Amino acid sequence: VEEEGAMEGCLFTWEEIRIHNGRGQGQEQWLVIDRKVYDVGRFSKRHPGGTFHNDKSLVERYLKSLLIGELAPDQPSFESNKKKALLEDFRELRCSVEKMGLLRPNYSFFFLIFLHLLVLDVASWLVVWHFGISFVPFVDSFVFQIQMGWFQHDLGHCSVLRKPKWNRLLHFVVMNILKVVASWREYPSWWTHLHNQHHAKPNCFRKDPDLNMHPLLFSLGKTLSVEVSMGMFGETKILLTESYTHHIFILFCFVVQDLFLIVSFNIRVCLMYIPLMGFNNFMKCFCVYLCRYLESTWFIWVSQMNHIPMDIDYDKNEDWVSTQLHATCNVNQSLFNDWFTGHLNFQIEHHLFPTMPRHNYCKVAPLVRALCDKHGIEYKSKSLLTAFSDILHSLKDSGEHWLEAYLHG
């Protein structure tokens, strides 16, 4: 108790806190919450990105052991580069959202979502059973898988059920029994590990796992494309190699615990379709075209249309709200767009309120737009086709920046 009291008595300046950012040789990584300073360096190795916690008392219980002091009285509550007024207004908005009940799920909505998924799955089998092999059940199963992907995304964000542990349990089951795992990124534990980091620092190179293909496959954004072209990415390759070595070790641990249910999924699907289609037709339709091509194509276009066209750069140490707004954009609302994207056309609202059930995005959107207008931040929303074309334009621009730097740099 005396040691803890002594730690609480330590006073720090923002300059001292900036030094302890986890980038040096030491393990110290300091974090400020409500003027109290915590060292989360060692803890972050076991809790990278964090899970989405609805229980604030749980968070406070873990933070207590990490407390090392607080800001000195002469220090402002925010760093000078953070937008204090924006953060204060967002906190007020967050309180209003909680009072309006927009963080509580509508069980009827998600029951209908799950019911329509089961109808798609059963209809696919019935069509094969009655009419034989055709294109219809193939498309039906393909649609089922992508829509199940949006549903598992809801579960991963703890927005379907009120208790996080029940969301995580159902997420684990859905991902391994009802949803085909098309790649290692879709193992439930692995998905959570990566996706939480993406939400913490979207479009921030070295911190957002969705950018880890840069520069090994292609370059993204003006700054990073120029660096690649100028040959300034030797350090980047080393960092990415170290990052993937760490990820592969974690992946091994995750795969062991997920393996049993993944086998269960494959047994279920094989028993349903091989007797009707034959082994060869089953392998071609479900394992090659469905999982590896069409579903992945649908998922990638939807998941990247909200981020790739936005700012991609190193972490600029902006405040959290600005980071989310500069890295995301929306696609206009319509019944089709909502269904086609699993409501991820409301990407701005999704990133500002990660645990909000998707059926409430349209309700909070006007409030978020008003917040952006008040602080002079562009609230981008576009048509679905424009969003798809912007992906290609962004990749083309990155390539041109690379070529310009290569020829004239």
In the sheet that 36-39 helps form, which strands lie side by side, from edge to edge? 11-12, 67-71, 36-39, 30-33
Q: Over 80: is that where the pLDDT of 159 sits?
A: yes
- pLDDT confidence bin for 102, thresholds 50/70/90: very high
Any idea which of 170-184, 198-212, 226-240 has the lowest mean pLDDT? 226-240
Q: Over 70: is that where the pLDDT of 31 sits?
A: yes
Q: Report the domain count for the chain.
A: 2
**pLDDT of res. 381:** 96
CA distances from 34 to 60, 77, 220 (A): 12, 7, 35
Any idea which of 22-26, 197-201, 320-324 has the lowest mean pLDDT? 22-26
| Mean pLDDT, rounded, for 249-276 | 65
Q: Which residues pair with 31 in a beta bridge?
A: 38
Instruction: Find, among 250, 239, 249, 240, the residue nearest to 196 by Cα.
Output: 250
C-alpha span between 94 and 55 (Å, rounded) = 15
Joined together, the tokens standing for residue 245 give 């070595």
- Please say which residue of 263, 278, 296 terminates a domain: 296
C-alpha span between 179 and 295 (Å, rounded) = 11
Any idea which of 101-105, 243-247, 270-274, 307-311 has the lowest mean pLDDT? 243-247
278 and 158 together in one domain: yes
132 and 277 together in one domain: yes
Q: Over 60: is that where the pLDDT of 377 sits?
A: yes
Any idea which of 69-78, 90-99, 172-181 has the lowest mean pLDDT? 172-181
266 and 150 together in one domain: yes
Q: Does the residue 371 lie in any domain?
A: no
Q: Does the residue 71 lie in any domain?
A: yes
**pLDDT of res. 6:** 42
- pLDDT confidence bin for 186, thresholds 50/70/90: low
Q: Does the residue 73 lie in any domain?
A: yes
Q: Over 50: is that where the pLDDT of 14 sits?
A: yes
Q: Does the residue 264 lie in any domain?
A: yes
Q: Over 60: is that where the pLDDT of 135 sits?
A: yes
Token pair 């995750």 is at which residue?
Answer: 254
CB atoms within 10 A of CB 149: 21
Q: Which residues contact 247 (CB under 8 A, 6 or more apart)?
A: 193
Residue 313 DSSP code: B
55 and 179 together in one domain: no
Q: Does the residue 183 lie in any domain?
A: yes
145 and 275 together in one domain: yes
**Percent of the residues in the chain that have a pLDDT greater than 90, as a whole number:** 28
- pLDDT confidence bin for 234, thresholds 50/70/90: very low
C-alpha span between 333 and 18 (Å, rounded) = 41
**What pTM was computed for the model?**
0.77
C-alpha span between 221 and 214 (Å, rounded) = 10
Domain with 31, as residue range(s), is 11-77
On average, the pLDDT of the chain sits at 79
Q: Does the residue 68 lie in any domain?
A: yes
- pLDDT confidence bin for 43, thresholds 50/70/90: confident
**pLDDT of res. 93:** 97
66 and 156 together in one domain: no
58 and 185 together in one domain: no
| Mean pLDDT, rounded, for 268-275 | 80
**Phi and psi torsions of 55, nearest 5°:** -90, 100
Q: Over 60: is that where the pLDDT of 141 sits?
A: yes
| Mean pLDDT, rounded, for 144-165 | 89
CA distances from 338 to 108, 181, 346, 355 (A): 17, 24, 8, 18
**pLDDT of res. 409:** 60
- Please say which residue of 296, 329, 362 terminates a domain: 296
| Mean pLDDT, rounded, for 386-391 | 92
Q: Over 80: is that where the pLDDT of 405 sits?
A: no
24 and 151 together in one domain: no
Most confident of 57-66, 157-166, 342-351, 388-397: 342-351
169 and 246 together in one domain: yes
Name which residue leads in pLDDT, 289 or 121: 121
170 and 254 together in one domain: yes
Q: Over 50: is that where the pLDDT of 245 sits?
A: no
C-alpha span between 211 and 313 (Å, rounded) = 10
C-alpha span between 369 and 349 (Å, rounded) = 10
Q: Report helix, strand or coil for 263.
A: helix
Judge contact between 149 and 130, C-beta under 8 A: no
Joined together, the tokens standing for residue 127 give 């069509």
151 and 251 together in one domain: yes
- List the beta strands (DSSP E) in 155-259: none
| Mean pLDDT, rounded, for 34-54 | 69
How many helices and strands in the chain, by DSSP H and E?
18, 6
- pLDDT confidence bin for 189, thresholds 50/70/90: low
Q: Is the dihedral of CA 112, 331, 48, 79 positive or negative?
A: negative
* Amino acid sitting at position 88: E
Judge contact between 72 and 11, C-beta under 8 A: yes
Any idea which of 120-129, 161-170, 183-192, 203-212 has the lowest mean pLDDT? 183-192
**pLDDT of res. 110:** 95
Judge contact between 123 and 140, C-beta under 8 A: yes
Q: Report helix, strand or coil for 346.
A: coil
**pLDDT of res. 347:** 96
- Please say which residue of 39, 55, 77 terminates a domain: 77
pLDDT digits 0-9 by tens, 275-306: 877 888 777 666 555 555 677 778 888 988 99
Q: Does the residue 279 lie in any domain?
A: yes
C-alpha span between 361 and 377 (Å, rounded) = 19
Q: Does the residue 53 lie in any domain?
A: yes
54 and 180 together in one domain: no
- pLDDT confidence bin for 236, thresholds 50/70/90: very low
Give me the CATH number covering residue 33: 3.10.120.10
**Long-range CB contacts for residues 130-133, cutoff 8 Å, separation at least 24:** 133/276, 133/277, 133/281, 133/285
- Radius of gyration (Cα) for the chain, nearest Å? 23
